Amino acid sequence: MAQHYYTVTWDQLHRDARALAWRLIEAGPWRGIVAVTRGGLIPAAIIARELECRLIESISITTYDEERIGQSVVTKPPTAAGDGEGFLIIDDLVDTGTTARVVRGLLPKAHFATVYSKPAGKDVVDTFVTEVSQDTWILFPWDTDSTPQFVAPIARGPSRIGSG
């Protein structure tokens, strides 16, 4: 289990994905984008719009089971991207780098970009916007609902939630 949680809203994700597009515009032009599913789909759509890139491919890799990292399985390869030459790989997050290394193996000539990065995986990607600690679990907007709820002050710590 993660020790810390960081909630990303739809607005923040949109701003951060656009910030990533700003960093990537000069490194192009790009022939296409490979979205790492599922987390990379929405950032890839935003970045594709900002870079005016119309060729979108995807790669499906299963690595996580809830918050546990498991064996990586490629369930859909990015056939249209070849070896990645001229392609931009987009994912929401690089955590340990497990998924990213599999993608790199399939697309060695692509440029890999993520919106968020953790220390253990950041060496695998070429570009990212925001780094978070390794023990933080990012709650993306598609993982949460929009119901406002009470959040305890940080000073209470995780063991003190509900104590008063």
Query: Of residues 11, 16, 83, 95, which has the active-site annotation?
Result: 95
91 is catalytic: yes
Query: Of residues 16, 65, 91, 143, which has the active-site annotation?
Result: 91
126 is catalytic: no
**H/E/C letters for each residue in the chain?**
CCCEEEECCHHHHHHHHHHHHHHHHCCCCCCEEEEEECCCHHHHHHHHHHHCCCCEEEEEEEEEECCEEEEEEEEECCHHHCCCCCEEEEEEEECCCHHHHHHHHHCCCCEEEEEEECCCCCCCCCEEEEECCCCEEEECHHHCCCCCCCCCCHHHCHHHCCCC
83 is catalytic: no
Query: Of residues 16, 92, 123, 145, which has the active-site annotation?
Result: 92
Give the residue numbers annotated as catalytic, written as ranges. 91-92, 95
